[in-house]
Amino acid sequence: MNYFVITTILVLISAVFGYWNVRFIKLPNTIGLTVISIAFTLAVFALSYIDDSLLEAERYIITHIDFKTVLLDLMLGFLLFAGALHTDLEKLKKHRWPILAFATFGVLVSTFLIGGASYYVVRLFGMEVPFIYCLLFGALISPTDPIAVLGILKQIGAPKKLEIKIVGESLFNDGVGVVIFLTIFSLAKSPGAEFSILEVGQLFVHEVFGGVMLGVVLGWITFQMMRRIDDYAVEVIISLAAVMGGIVLSQYLHVSGPLAMVIAGLFVGGSRNRSLAMSEITETYVDKFWELIDILLNTILFVLIGMEILVLDLESEYILAGVLMIPIALLCRYASLLLPVRIFQRPLEFLPHTNLVMTWGGLRGAISIALALGLTQEMYRDLFLVMTYVVVIFSIIGQGLTVNPLIKRLQKIWKIDLRE
């Protein structure tokens, strides 16, 4: 079975599951597709006691997909560019400092809090795991997933004042989170090697600022090319080439591809640059093209998340440790946002309980699973993969289904229209 056949099967499954969700279940697509995929996989498990041919076919597909490479090196760039392209740059500029604090300070604090907590949690179940590997788990589970966040917020009607903070943070903190993870991963992979704080700092700065600069260059070149012509078909192709070329360049230059795609998307999609570079018809076609890319990749991605249960080593201790980490991870996220929220609350007129909504609305998703899949067996991959999967599934389904009721209840305190 070649990659074209596997891709065809995934698109077919995604289409069928998407139809079932829209026609019968009527959940937000992100949640509905995950639920249906898990239910389908469990049904295949049950059927395998009679005939295991379908289980073996599904397992073949999953084991022949490098989820980490497909998501981090390919899909993520397209999804982040699409998300940034439709983000209000002017509002993002107004909240740039709290968003920067959430995406850097917040992720770093959360990494160490969750890493420290997981170090003791796994010991409750008799597992002696070195602290550096627990810190890796903290790094991979701390970033909120822009793919999951954007998918939910599009449908729940969050207030604009909150939406821009949650979306802005999620667009940037996954790139920062991936860099933090890769930095700790380098330390954990060579425990006997000598690393200085300066070397670690240089690696971090190179990845982050290199990604930002690459995004600025790509965005500027794309903008300049689009403003000099008026042909919607060619301009759509230019935007696609910018993303594909940017992904390849980021890998070659060893800089953060996710951050590069976010910056490029914001540069091209900003209201001022839009009006200068695109005619009305071009703007419509560019937006619709990237909206379709976003929907297609999201659909396939969350089907894959549901099917990834096939690669898990479902030991009871691993599952219980993951369940215990759900409230701990939420508390750690809440604590990591306390200082930034307190600092910017008055000058930027944060709504009451902003920290609560950002904690509950900061969903974990595919990025965490992809990073967990990248761990080696020496890093307790099976343990942390199951723990990650448990936290992510609760986040997507449990938090995703209850964010809207939470916001509606808080609306009585805010006394504002939901779209303000």
Residues 14 and 106 in one domain: no
- CATH number (domain holding residue 264): 1.20.1530.20
164-189: per-residue pLDDT in tens? 778 788 888 878 888 889 888 888 88
Q: Is 353 within a domain?
A: yes
CA angle 160–153–412, rounded 5-degree value: 55
Residues 361 and 258 in one domain: yes
Quick one: tokens of 334? 């809440």
Spatial separation of the C-alpha atoms in residues 401 and 367, rounded to whole Å: 20
The DSSP 8-state label assigned to residue 399 in this structure reads I
The DSSP 8-state label assigned to residue 386 in this structure reads H
Residues 279 and 376 in one domain: yes
Q: Is 420 within a domain?
A: no
Contact (Cβ atoms closer than 8 angstroms) between residue 23 and residue 13:
no
pTM for the whole thing?
0.89
Q: Is 232 within a domain?
A: yes
34-86: per-residue pLDDT in tens? 999 999 999 998 988 888 888 888 888 888 888 888 888 888 899 889 989 98
Helix (H) or strand (E) holding 339: helix 316-344
Q: Roughly how many angstroms between the first and final C-alpha of the chain, as a whole number? A: 51
Residues 257 and 386 in one domain: yes
The residues, any chain, with a CB within 8 Å of residue 252's CB and separated by 6 or more, are none
Domain range for residue 114?
A: 67-414
DSSP of 278-305 = --HHHHHHHHHHHHHHHHHHHHHHHHHH
233-262: per-residue pLDDT in tens? 999 999 999 999 999 999 999 899 999 999
Residues 21 and 168 in one domain: no
- Total domain count, the chain: 2
Torsion of the alpha carbons at 196, 202, 205 and 210, rounded to the nearest 10: -150
Residues 129 and 9 in one domain: no
Of 46, 63, 80, which closes a domain?
Answer: 63
Of 11, 31, 63, which closes a domain?
Answer: 63
Residues 100 and 15 in one domain: no
Spatial separation of the C-alpha atoms in residues 145 and 170, rounded to whole Å: 6
Give residue for tokens 């306390």: 338
Residues 95 and 48 in one domain: no
Residues 213 and 193 in one domain: yes
Quick one: tokens of 332? 């750690």
Report the pLDDT value the prediction gives residue 170, as an integer from 0 to 100.
Answer: 83
Residues 142 and 16 in one domain: no
Q: Is 156 within a domain?
A: yes
Spatial separation of the C-alpha atoms in residues 315 and 165, rounded to whole Å: 38
15-29: per-residue pLDDT in tens? 999 999 999 998 888
Q: Is 11 within a domain?
A: yes
Q: Is 180 within a domain?
A: yes
Helices (H) and strands (E) counted in the chain, each on its own, are: 21, 0
Report the pLDDT value the prediction gives residue 207, as an integer from 0 to 100.
Answer: 86
| Type of residue numbered 326 | I
Helix (H) or strand (E) holding 121: helix 107-124
Spatial separation of the C-alpha atoms in residues 166 and 295, rounded to whole Å: 20
Residues 405 and 328 in one domain: yes
Q: Is 419 within a domain?
A: no
